[in-house]
Chain A
Amino acid sequence: MIVTGKGGVGKTTVAVALGLRAASEGKRTIVCEVSSQENASRMFEHTAVGFHEVEMEENLWSISIDPDESMREYVLLQLKVRAMRDMLFRSRIFNYLAAATPGLKELVTIGKIWELAQLDRKVKSGRKYDLVIVDAPATGHGVGFLQTPRTFASIARVGPIHSQAQTLDRFITDHRNTGTAIVALPEEMPVNESMALEKDLRDEVGVAVDRVYLNGLYPERFKKEEAAKLSQLVENENGATRAAARAGLSEFGRARSQRQQLARLKRGVEAPVKTLPFLFEPELDVEAARRLAGRLS
């Protein structure tokens, strides 16, 4: 499951919530980060996990996929000889070529995701996962990221990486095994971008878009008549009563404009839309994600 969307929409929170949900159902699950920001492990107040599969909770694992580490692992799997791999990586030319090859970093990152999802893991001591959740790069980067295998397959027309890239492309676009979720916010621009993203993912990358999560939806706490009463209070009162009434009106206004965006999103995308509530909490920690997980049926 690839979780994607514009920057700042809560992809990590949703990815972790999906992970918690699956883990609670007894599925051995891993959440993969690709941005080396370690947001997921930070949510669990865990030290940075790096390029290691680390258990956060029962059945829930986390890894931060570093492209350089993925490259080392991949090359070792190809060459089989550790000393030769190390010699290669000490070479400036090799490092230069690796850095210069367009898309190679993305390709080996996807390669690692593929490896994690294999029933028969390639790395020693690797155990199989029932579900691999990817906290993908933000929109823009996201589509390019997922397109890498196909682009690569066309650049390198021969050789092992050509067939590897084809395998990865088939893996990503296999609707039975791989799906994507888009995370959106109930605001004009994020909704527009989510609609465009769904189209790109479907038409250009060829992946299945299973669901759009509209994150951070304000509750409808007040009815229209109640808002009118609050407006009167704002006009006639002072002090805390006025401030409270004003906060109520803000909530009413935001909840209403967000509902309009929700309606627009539902009209604009093909995948089913699932809303996630705005959490009035200072920081979104693992408990917040757990509460969201409860809403993900």
Chain B
Amino acid sequence: MASLNEVLDGKSICICAGSGGVGKTTTSAAIATGMAAQGLKVCVLTIDPAKRLADSLGLEELGNEARRVDPALIEEQGVEMKGELWAMMLDAKATFDELIARQAPDEESRDRVLNNRIYQQISSALAGSQEYMAMEKLFELHTEGEFDLLVLDTPPTRNALDFLDAPKRLTQFIEGKSLRVFMKPTGLAAKVTGRGVSVMLSVFKKIVGFDLIADLAEFFNAFSGMVDGFQARAKRVNKLLADPETCFLVVCGPQGEPIDEAVYFHRKLVEAKLPFGGVIVNKVHYPADELEAEVDDLPAALAEKLGDPNLAKRVADNFADYQALAERDARNIDHLAGELRTSCVIRVPYLDEDVHDLHGLTEIDRYLFATAEERVEMAAGRA
């Protein structure tokens, strides 16, 4: 069984991916904290951390700029901080605006784009723009080379795969190849196919309202000088994602549905030839290790020790419930490991305390960065 340290060895980018509600943000923050503690300069890029996570990192709020987490706060948890931990919260709209400012040939074209209503919609609302900007920021930080390791918490997409297609979809949109030709009234295409197209546009206008088309035309005009720059950049972003120094970790939960999604997501990563590193399963119910010493009549044995048959029965029933969950988790994870054919499956136990602060993160790190044997040993002490 490979450990997380082996998987991340020599990597400069770690992307945590998975469906919503499986603890991606927490896992990303915990990985960043752990790697920083070992001596690296690490930045975790997150999308939407709960306010208290920002609080607990000692940061008033996370802006679109990287902020350093006070090492004293981590050392308070009994962890020696040999490196540096930085965090930033991505603001998709601000990142998009910065990108436009960089790509625009002059101020006038920049403002034309920034003030266009279609642009304002896509920069904040279009599906995929958040994902695209997350990767854009990642690319920017990587190019600047300030950090040894960047950990990206991918946006909570409805579908974990959206973000893989996002750059392509967005550049296609901006290129608008099929549309722009027809929007130039003097273009050759307009002469050849003019009537069919104008029928099409008039039907579309009838449905969505006239000014939308005009806005789109204006948008493409304003963007026309930037298309090449966008394409070139998207290509470099894609190259970076496929680089051997990048590592994708799939994060999931132990229930059937998240496991199925992890399997599906892994398949898509492989198809896209992206470097898969391993899978992290959160909130796993570990089976009780002491079962080797199983007793025939647990309620009776408990009643004897507790001197309370009623309590003993409830303890035994509760134990049976927990064991059933542990068996389910073990079954699901075996299935997952088989499907993924990976040696790196890291099980983080369901901790008794809710994880939402630095204390919780360092707890998680004890499991994340342990070897498989150490994890079993640690978890055996708990339910």
Complex Cα–Cα for A247 and B323 (A): 9
Evaluate contact between A6 and B256: CB separation under 8 angstroms: no
Evaluate contact between A248 and B295: CB separation under 8 angstroms: no
Evaluate contact between A283 and B328: CB separation under 8 angstroms: yes
Query: Is A295 located at the chain interface by the 8 A CB criterion?
Result: no
Interface residues on A, range: 35 or more
User: Of all chain B residues, which has the CB nearest A193?
Assistant: B50
Complex Cα–Cα for A83 and B305 (A): 80
Q: How far is the CB of B153 from chain A (nearest CB, A)?
A: 13
Query: Is B188 located at the chain interface by the 8 A CB criterion?
Result: no
Say whether chain A's binding surface is mostly helix, strand, loop, or mixed.
Answer: helix
Of A121-129, A157-165, A171-179, the one with at least 4 CB within 8 A of chain B: A157-165
Query: Is A56 located at the chain interface by the 8 A CB criterion?
Result: no
Query: Is B10 located at the chain interface by the 8 A CB criterion?
Result: no
- The one of B117, B294, B301 that contacts A155, using a Cβ cutoff of 8 Å: B117
- The one of A84, A138, A250, A281 that contacts B322, using a Cβ cutoff of 8 Å: A250
Give B79-116 as 1s and 0s: 1 = Cβ < 8 Å from A's Cβ atoms: 00000000000000000000000000000000000000
User: Of all chain A residues, which has the CB nearest B23?
Assistant: A8
Complex Cα–Cα for A245 and B322 (A): 11
Evaluate contact between A239 and B290: CB separation under 8 angstroms: yes
Complex Cα–Cα for A48 and B257 (A): 15
Query: A6 — which chain B residues lie within 8 A by C-beta?
Result: 20-21
Evaluate contact between B21 and A240: CB separation under 8 angstroms: no
Per the 8 Å Cβ criterion, residues 332-359 of B in contact with A are 352-354, 356
Query: A291 — which chain B residues lie within 8 A by C-beta?
Result: none
Q: Which of B158, B255, B289, B293 has the most CB of A within 10 A?
A: B158
Complex Cα–Cα for A269 and B125 (A): 27
Query: Is B325 located at the chain interface by the 8 A CB criterion?
Result: yes
Complex Cα–Cα for A246 and B302 (A): 12
Query: Is B134 located at the chain interface by the 8 A CB criterion?
Result: no
With A96-B179, A101-B208 as contacts: A192 and B50 at CB distance below 8 Å: yes
Q: How far is the CB of A145 from chain B (nearest CB, A)?
A: 10
- The one of A84, A94, A245 that contacts B315, using a Cβ cutoff of 8 Å: A245
With A156-B209, A159-B205, A188-B50 as contacts: A243 and B352 at CB distance below 8 Å: no
Give A109-141 as 1s and 0s: 1 = Cβ < 8 Å from B's Cβ atoms: 000000000000000000000000000011011
Q: How far is the CB of A221 from chain B (nearest CB, A)?
A: 6
Query: B197 — which chain A residues lie within 8 A by C-beta?
Result: 93
With A188-B52, A282-B325 as contacts: A238 and B125 at CB distance below 8 Å: no
Evaluate contact between B209 and A93: CB separation under 8 angstroms: no
Evaluate contact between A39 and B356: CB separation under 8 angstroms: no
Per the 8 Å Cβ criterion, residues 231-274 of A in contact with B are 233, 237-251, 253-254, 257, 261
Give B350-383 as 1s and 0s: 1 = Cβ < 8 Å from A's Cβ atoms: 0011101000000000000000000000000111
Query: Is B269 located at the chain interface by the 8 A CB criterion?
Result: no
Evaluate contact between B173 and A100: CB separation under 8 angstroms: yes
- The one of B53, B200, B291, B325 that contacts A243, using a Cβ cutoff of 8 Å: B291
Of B35-43, B138-146, B210-218, the one with at least 4 CB within 8 A of chain A: B210-218
With A161-B208, A233-B306 as contacts: A192 and B51 at CB distance below 8 Å: yes
Q: How far is the CB of A195 from chain B (nearest CB, A)?
A: 11
User: Of all chain B residues, which has the CB nearest A258?
Assistant: B354
Query: Is A104 located at the chain interface by the 8 A CB criterion?
Result: yes
Evaluate contact between B212 and A250: CB separation under 8 angstroms: no
Evaluate contact between B382 and A161: CB separation under 8 angstroms: no
Complex Cα–Cα for A212 and B106 (A): 51
Complex Cα–Cα for A179 and B240 (A): 46
Complex Cα–Cα for A159 and B206 (A): 6
Query: Is B244 located at the chain interface by the 8 A CB criterion?
Result: no
With A160-B206, A250-B352 as contacts: A151 and B125 at CB distance below 8 Å: yes
Query: Is B77 located at the chain interface by the 8 A CB criterion?
Result: no
Q: Which of B117, B212, B213, B321 has the most CB of A within 10 A?
A: B212
Query: Is A82 located at the chain interface by the 8 A CB criterion?
Result: no
Query: Is A75 located at the chain interface by the 8 A CB criterion?
Result: yes
User: Of all chain A residues, which has the CB nearest B288?
Assistant: A243
Evaluate contact between B52 and A230: CB separation under 8 angstroms: no
Query: A100 — which chain B residues lie within 8 A by C-beta?
Result: 173, 176, 179, 216
Complex Cα–Cα for A280 and B208 (A): 50
- The one of B50, B159, B212, B327 that contacts A35, using a Cβ cutoff of 8 Å: B159
Evaluate contact between B319 and A243: CB separation under 8 angstroms: yes
Query: B206 — which chain A residues lie within 8 A by C-beta?
Result: 78, 159-160
- The one of B22, B127, B182, B216 that contacts A8, using a Cβ cutoff of 8 Å: B22
Complex Cα–Cα for A32 and B322 (A): 34
Query: Is B186 located at the chain interface by the 8 A CB criterion?
Result: no
User: Of all chain B residues, which has the CB nearest A280?
Assistant: B321
Query: Is B207 located at the chain interface by the 8 A CB criterion?
Result: yes
Residue pairs across A and B with Cβ atoms less than 8 A apart, 7 shown, are A6-B21, A75-B207, A102-B118, A159-B206, A243-B319, A244-B316, A246-B383
Beyond A97-B208, A158-B209, A240-B301, list 8 extra A-B contacts (CB 8 Å): A8-B258, A94-B200, A96-B178, A102-B126, A188-B52, A221-B318, A244-B302, A253-B353
- Residues of chain A touching chain B, judged by Cβ–Cβ distance below 8 Å, are 6-9, 35, 37, 39, 75, 78-79, 84, 88, 91-94, 96-97, 99-105, 137-138, 140-141, 144, 151, 155-162, 187-189, 192-193, 221-222, 226, 229-230, 233, 237-251, 253-254, 257, 261, 280-284
